[in-house]
Amino acid sequence: MRVLAALSGGVDSAVAAARAVDAGHDVTGVHMALSRNRDLYRSGSRGCCSIEDANDARRAADILGIPYYVWDLSDEFHDTVVSDFLSEYEAGRTPNPCVRCNEHIKFDTLLERASALGFDAVATGHYARIDLREDGVRELHRAADAAKDQSYVLAVMGPDKLARSMFPLGTVASKTEVRAEAAARGLGVSNKPDSYDICFVADGDTKGFLERELGERPGEIVDQDGAVVGAHSGAYSYTVGQRKGLGLGNPAADGKPRYVTGVDTVRNVVTVGPETLLSVSTLVGDRAVWLAPDVPADEATRCEAQVRAHGAPLPGVVTREGDRLVVQLDEPTRGIAAGQSLVVYAGTRVLGQATIVR
């Protein structure tokens, strides 16, 4: 097959491309330039998609002996991922930009361009498994390495994109194995630190980024009875379940910590209260993507729900109502915010995904 290997400049994508070459595919490497700042350079583990990463990707392609190109997707990235991130926070929701990047950039724009150029599939360094059954159904599963599993952020891709994707690292036992393989192949990125946090907030200061982009909007922090207990510089920078950084001047009557229980960006008010007010038993998500054609989406199905990239699975029952997923949890959970990605599993298999609305 003709395979387009997405080379981020890290060790995972380099080894994934190498494995695609070993499998006998006709591989071409491409680096997605996502930053509008052409002078962006970092030496460390924060962020990604910098000039440093582009150079590392080129060196990896040279060692593998494959063609290499750089695609400028900075406008698409800003218009879909960064703009969505800002508008979601401005609406009082808590988005996951990695989910949106995988949806709109890595498995939408990239696959669209790859198909137009005659490629059969795209290979990436994501940690997840694709199992092809005898009846032709493709299943998306958690990676063998649970600590690196990325099926949560990949669930949004849908069955059509899944059919044109390859994840060569899905079966590796650990990141240590990937680094050792990279070193054995002579890939200079074998010891390169992992990127983390939000790539377009390279300093890790999300609140500061939001204030720079959206401006300060001073307002009140109130308790569950409506009494003013503090002040904020913008309701958009708070998220349900948040405990730290509230700067409350008046302690609670019972002396217990208070958490953000509500964010109203229209009134510019943040509400806080005791942890008990965060408990929920039902999760509702819209814009549902269902990845299990053999599992009736409108019938109650036992599942495990996950609401954070590496959060604990929450047992429950899922049903699909139109374009919505509704999960009734076996036990209440806390700290769920609108805008988070809801992914439902059956064991290691991904059943579907939706964006939490309540």
Residue from 106, 212, 209 nearest 164 by CA: 106
- The answer to whether the beta carbons of residues 160 and 355 sit under 8 Å apart is no
Q: Rounded distance, CA 143 to CA 258, Å?
A: 37
| Among 48, 49, 98, 199, the one annotated catalytic | 199
Residue from 72, 79, 80 nearest 51 by CA: 72
Residue from 12, 14, 10, 82 nearest 52 by CA: 10
Q: Would you call 199 a catalytic residue per the annotation?
A: yes
**Cα angle 232, 357, 259; round to 5:** 35
Token output for 170: 């899905």
Q: Would you call 48 a catalytic residue per the annotation?
A: no
- Straight-line distance from the first to the last Cα atom of the chain, in angstroms, rounded to the nearest whole number: 43
**CA distances, 215 to each of 86, 178, 212, 235, 331 (Å):** 11, 43, 6, 11, 40
Which residue blocks in 91-243 are alpha helix, DSSP H?
Answer: 97-101, 110-116, 151-154, 158-162, 175-184, 206-214
Q: Which residues are catalytic?
A: 101, 199
